[in-house]
Structures are given as C-alpha cells and as structure tokens.
Amino acid sequence: MRRDPVMIMKEILRLLEDEKEEALSLNAIAERTGIHNLTVRRYVRIIEMVNREPEIEVIKTKHSIIIRMRR
C-alpha cells in the first residue's frame, strides 16, 4: 500500500526529534517507523538537500503557495 509522502516525512522527523540525543542509522529509522529502508534513504536525501538550501521561502496566500529561493 502506498503511503502519503507528507506522512512519511512527518514520521521520520518525529522519530529524529524524539531521539535527538541518539544518532540513528537508516536501518534503525526504517525499523522504528516501519518505513522501507530504501524509502528512508530517499527521504534522508531530501532532508540533506533542504538543509543545504536554507534560503527557501514558502509564502502561503489565500489562493496559492509560492516557493522562492532568496540569495
């Protein structure tokens, strides 16, 4: 069964927040969340990419969401 990508990201981030004193391997994240190891690996890559671009701004308006990079 396919899972909602937003929920996958929330589960991974929630685990990392709960275990912030502990370094977790990708396998440990997969085991504790029940998310497939390959999926965890892909989402960790997304987290790494976002961390390298701290100047991403998300603007929510009444009718849309605008994303831009500030340099």
Contacts of 3 (CB under 8 A, 6+ apart): 35
Residue 28 has a pLDDT of 95
pLDDT per residue rounded down to tens, the chain (71 residues)? 789 999 999 999 999 999 988 999 999 999 999 999 999 999 999 988 888 776 888 889 999 999 888 76
Structural domains of the chain in order of their starting residue, each with its CATH number = 5-69 (1.10.10)
Three-state helix/strand/coil letters over the chain: CCCCHHHHHHHHHHHHHHCCCCCCCHHHHHHHHCCCHHHHHHHHHHHHHHHHCCCEEEEECCCCEEEEECC
Residue 71 has a pLDDT of 67
Residue 20 has a pLDDT of 86
